[in-house]
Structure 1
C-alpha cells in the first residue's frame, strides 16, 4: 500500500495526502476528511522514513549528559526519553565522563549524527561549544545548567540548600556541616556550588559563622561522602548536623555515623538532596527536585524551537520542596558542643 493508492481512492493528489499526513493547516476540511477516510479504508500506515524526509527532519534528539550511571542522571534521562517517545522522536545519548570526551562530543556532534535538536544536562556550555551550536543552527535546551543566552530548565539550587539548612536551624542545630562536589572539576558542575551558597546564606541570615572545617568537598560518590563525613565527625568540635549536596553523599554520611557508633538522628542529623528511591529506603530527610519532570519539560521546550517557535520562558524554574523523614531531629544539647568521637 502506497501514498498513491490513498490519493487515488480519495480523488486527490499525492501532495494533498502528504499535507494531511503531516498535519498541515492548508487543507480543506472536506478534503481532509476524504483523505483520512481513505487511509482508514486502506489500513495505510505511512513510512516513518518517508515522513521524516517530507518534514525535512530526522525526528531525532541528541542528549549530552555526564555520568550516565548516576541515579539523578538516569531519572532525568527517563523524563527525556518519555517525552521524546510521546512526540515520535528518537534519542541519541552522548555520555561524558572526562574533559577529553566532552571536547570530542561537542566537536564531532554535528558531523556524527543529523539531529533536529540538542539537550545538554548539567553542563554549562563553554564559549567555543556555544559558537559551534549556533553555527549549525541547532535548537538547544539546557537542563540543570546555566547560560544566559540559552533556554534552560532548572531548579532553584540556592533555595534548596537554604531550605535544608533552615530546617536544621529550626530544630536547634548550630554547628551544621556541608558536603558537596569539588568546586573545580573539568566538567564544571554548578548545582553543588549553588546548594552550598544556599547553605551559607541560611547560616549568615541566622547570625552564625560558616566554619571552614565543617565545609568539605570531594569526588561525587557514596564512599567519598563517608570519608568526608567521618573526617568532620572525628573533630574536637564535630557538627550536630550535615547538609549533603546529594542523596548519594548523604548515604555515605549515614554510613560514617554508623561506623562511629553515632545514632541518627539522636547524635547526628543528615539532610540529602534529590529525593531518589534511595532516600525513602534510608528514611532520609531530603530536598526533592523534579528530575523526571525536568527531562519532560526540556523536550517540550525543545520541540517548540524545532518547530520554529519561541522557547519561552527562557529560564524555567521548576518547584522544589523539603521532604522530612527520620534522619533529622533536634540536637541532644543545642548550646553545648558534643564531645569528639574517637577513631577506632
Structure 2
C-alpha cells in the first residue's frame, strides 16, 4: 500500500503539504496542489478516511435527508448535491425521510447521533420542532432546501412568484381562459408548494381582472400520468374550454401535452401549455417552463454546507437569513399568442 511519505517524496514536498493539498484544508498553491494530486494519482494513493477523521475530527461525510427517491425533482437535486460534494472530497450518507413517525424518529435519535456526518442537508422536507432541536443539539451545520424556516439556514424558491411568472406569460399572449393543474390534498405537504403555486396563479389572474373559475382547476399527483388524466378531465368537460393550461410541474405539463395531442388539440395553435421545474425532458417536448435549476439547487446546498463547516461559527448552529434560489422563464414551442 502506497504511503503519504511516498507521495511527498514523489512530489518533492513535505507530508504536511501533501495532507493539506489532498484534504483541501490549509493554504497550498495551485501549482503545488496539482503536483501533489498528480503524484498521488500516479502512485495510486488514496487518503485513508479513518486516518483523516482522527487527524481532523471530521468524517468528510454529509448526511442528506430526502423525502422521495423515485421522483425526478428530488433525484436531480440529490445528483447536484452528490457531484458537488464529491468534487470537494466528501461522501454522502442518504436518509430517505418518509412520513412514518417511527422511521423519522430512528433517523434523528439514532442514525444522526452516531457522529458519522459533519453536516446535514434537508431537501424539501418540512422538519418538526423536535427534529430541528435534535439537529441543533448535534452542533452540526444544517442547510435546508425549501422553507422558509427561521431556525435553519435555508435556500428557497419563491413558489408564488414562480407561478405568477408562468401565468403572466400566458396572459401576455392574450389567454384569458387559463386552466390550472395543481395537486390533490395528499400531495400538498412539506411547505405547501402546490398551494403557493396556485396562489401565484390566482394572484396573476386577479391582477388581470379575471375571476377564479373552479371548472378550470383539476388536481393531480405531480406525475406525467396524473397530468395526462387531469388534462383529459379539463378538456373533456362541457362548457367553456381553456385556451391554455398552467401545470404546477413539468411532469404534469408533459402529461397535459400528451393528452391534448390524443384529443386532437394542436399545441400551441389550439392550446398553450406551461409548466414549472426545468425537467430534462422539457427540451425534447419543446415545453415552455419556469426553470428552477434543480441540479444547481443541489450544488448550491453542497457549497453552502461546506462553507459553514469552514466558518468559525459553524458549530454554534447559527441560522443565516434565507437565500433566494434563481428561476427563469424558458419559452419554447408549447406556448403561443392567442389568435383572435
TM-score tier (shorter): 0.7 to 0.9
CA contact (8 A) 1:117 1:140 kept: yes
Contact 2:126 2:147 in 1 (8 A): yes
Give me the whole-angstrom Cα distance separating, in 2, the residues matched to 1:233 and 1:22.
58
Residues 221 and 2 from structure 1, CA distance in 2 versus in 1: closer, same or farther, beyond 3 angstroms? closer
Q: CA deviation at 1:58?
A: 0.9
Q: Does 1:316 align with 2:323?
A: yes
3 and 74 in structure 1: CA distance in 2 versus 1, 3 angstrom threshold: closer
Cα deviation, residue 47, structure 1: 2.8
SS at match of 2:62: strand
**Which structure 1 residue ranges, 5 or more long, are not aligned?**
334-344
Partner Cα distance (2:247, 2:7) in 1 = 61
Secondary structure in 2 matching 1:277:
coil
1:211 Cα shift? Answer: 1.4
Specify the SS of the correspondent of 1:180: strand
Task: Map 1:249-260 to 2 at 5 A.
Answer: 249-260=252-263
Partner residue, 1:290:
293
Partner SS for 2:289 = strand
TM-score, length-scaled by structure 1: 0.82
TM-score (norm 2): 0.83
Which residue pairs with 1:231 in the alignment? 233
1:328: which partner in 2? 335
- CA distance in structure 2 between the aligned counterparts of 1:255 and 1:20, rounded to whole angstroms: 53
| Cα distance change, pair 23–286 in 1 and its aligned pair in 2 (3 A) | closer
1:267 aligns with: 270
Distance 1:22 1:327 in 2: 48
Say whether the 8 Å CA contact 1:22–1:55 is kept in structure 2.
no
Alignment gaps of 5+ in structure 2: none
Aligned residues: 325
Contact map agreement 1:144 1:191 (CA 8 A) in 2: no
Q: Specify the structure having the higher radius of gyration (Cα).
A: 1
> Are 2:276 and 2:289, in contact at CA under 8 Å, matched by a contact in 1?
yes
Change (3 A) 1:219 1:57: same
Shift of 1:19: 7.6
CA-CA distance at 1:117 after TM superposition: 0.6
* Contact preservation (8 Å) 1:275, 1:289: yes
Measured against aligned partners, the alpha-carbon deviations of 1:272-331 in whole angstroms (never above 9, x if no partner) come to 111212111111111111211111111111112223446785311122111111111123
Task: Report the Cα distance in structure 1 between the residues aligned to 2:6 and 2:230, rounded to whole angstroms.
Answer: 70
- Distance between the aligned counterparts of 2:24 and 2:321, measured in 1? 28
**Cα pair distance change 1:107/1:190, threshold 3 Å:** farther
| Equivalence for 1:75 | 76
